[in-house]
Amino acid sequence: MEVIALYGPYLLIAGCIFGFFMAWGIGANDVANAMGPSVGAKALTLAQAILVACIFELAGAYLAGGEVTSTIRKGIIDPVLLADSPELLVFGMMASLLAAGVWLIIASFKGWPVSTTHSIVGAIVGFAAVGISVESVNWSKVGSIVSSWVISPIMAGVISYLIFKSVQNLILNTKHPFDNAKKYVPGYIFLVGFVISMVTLLKGLKHVGLTLNFQESLTYSILIGIGMALLGSLILRRVENTYEKRGDVVFDGVEKVFGVLMVFTACAMAFAHGSNDVANAVGPLAAIVSVIQSGGEIASKSTMPWWILLLGGVGIVSGLAMLGYRVIETVGRNITELTPSRGFAAMLAAAATIVLGSGTGLPLSTTHTLVGAVLGVGLARGISAIDLGVVGRIIVSWVVTLPVGAGLSILFFFTLKGIFS
């Protein structure tokens, strides 16, 4: 308590700086890989992707992520053990933000798409197990998070494989692909609108005063999906069957149709990512603010102040704009060659998998989900369509994320403890 009283303002300022740093890393890595297929397929420019991310990531974080975030990330730490020494929680969350941020920056420079969730989880497990006690960590919870390494990419890969196969059979491998694209793509747009609406209405609007049951959510989601499909149909009428080259991607009429569709899926993916990761990414900062403003009281839940989301949002967009191109290149171009039709299948599969995980409580990693979806699209064209060397490096970066996050967090935790205690 004494440390909080003496150094509270300094800890708060440092926490905000570390939180912004972490958000910058999320933008450079996590949001970049979410936008990778759209930019890689030349459906969106980098500037357009940043604009989409800015709007829809924040909308997803607020509407579907909710305004209440657990102060103890993912229920990993038992808060009862910290009631008499709240400064340890503050040091730990600051160390976790800094450790996860450092690892995300390193991975982003290398072009490795790694998991924000696993980075912060590894960091929190590290400081809690060494700085407090091994018993303070909910190891079963950690185990379920680690299981997402396997669940996320496999589920998304299977879904994207099936979606792209349907695209091949209904559109690409037919006698009149352009006509069939205009015929069937509104149906895919309906799926995008329906999937995102369901997760938003079921889980995310209680705090703005709108509570709907499953039947009502289903009805409204179907109507929203139909509305998006009709809007998409109007836009598609203007698309002509001509050839155009954007960079090294050739757009015929079919790919132009899917280019329109990818704008919808990019918005959906940004929204789904925001609902799943962005609000939680600034959770440690909310914990720091809550403890300091309450004079040392540790609450199991804390309200997310609006300015924290704004701080996180600015950091995320900055990171995406300044360094995101490296991870975008890896996910969008280096794993497998993406066109708008392939990128659409990957994006819709990833968004659907995230929505499914959010609705059922399955522990999913957004990054692993998206990479798995891109792999699924590649496998639909045969194993030779995938760069196995790039995939191998990505998997290694996934495996080392937890231990690296833990090691850095332990180092920073004891450094902060030594400075302020």
Per-residue pLDDT, 72: 47
State pLDDT tens for residues 20-36.
999 899 889 988 878 88
How far apart (Å, rounded) are the C-alpha atoms in residues 63 and 55? Answer: 12
Q: Which of 189, 158, 185 is nearest to 170 (CA)?
A: 185
Contact 181, 258 (CB under 8 A): yes
- pLDDT band, very low/low/confident/very high, at 42 (cuts 50, 70, 90): confident
Going from the C-alpha of 60 to that of each of 72, 192, 316, the distances in angstroms are 21, 15, 14
What span, in angstroms and rounded, lies between the C-alpha atoms of 165 and 342? 10
pLDDT at 105: 95
Whether the CB-CB separation of 197 and 225 falls below 8 Å is answered with yes
Query: Cα 149 vs. chain centroid, distance in angstroms?
Result: 14
What domain range is 60 assigned to?
2-420
Q: Quick check: 197 pLDDT over 70?
A: yes
Name every residue whose Cβ is closer than 8 Å to that of residue 143 and which is 6 or more positions away in sequence: none
pLDDT at 205: 61
pLDDT, one tens digit per residue, over 257-302 is 888 888 888 887 787 777 667 666 777 888 888 888 877 777 656 5
The whole-angstrom distance between residue 167's C-alpha and the CA centroid of its chain comes to 25
Q: What is the pLDDT of residue 116?
A: 84
**CA–CA–CA angle 156, 159, 165 (5° rounding):** 135
The rounded mean pLDDT for the chain is 83
State pLDDT tens for residues 307-356: 887 788 888 888 888 898 899 889 888 898 888 889 989 988 887 887 77
- Tell me what pLDDT residue 325 has: 87
By CB neighbour count within 10 A (0-12 exposed, 13-18 middle, 19+ buried), where does 143 fall?
A: exposed
Q: What are phi and psi for residue 124, nearest 5 degrees? A: -70, -40
Mean pLDDT computed over 188-199: 83
Which of 2-16, 55-69, 239-253, 352-366 is the most confident on average?
Answer: 2-16
Q: Which of 276, 261, 263 is nearest to 370 (CA)?
A: 276
Determine what percent of the chain is predicted with pLDDT higher than 90: 27
Would you state the pLDDT for residue 230?
A: 93
Contacts of 409 (CB under 8 A, 6+ apart): 92, 95, 96, 98, 99, 100, 122, 123, 124, 126, 127
Q: Does the structure show a pLDDT above 50 at 237?
A: yes
> Which among 77, 183, 80, 173 has a CA at the least distance from the CA of 131?
77
In tens, the pLDDT along 141-186 reads 788 777 877 888 999 999 999 999 999 999 988 988 998 988 998 9
pLDDT in tens, 200-234: 776 656 555 667 787 888 899 999 999 999 998 99
Mean pLDDT computed over 359-379: 83
What total number of domains does the chain contain? 1
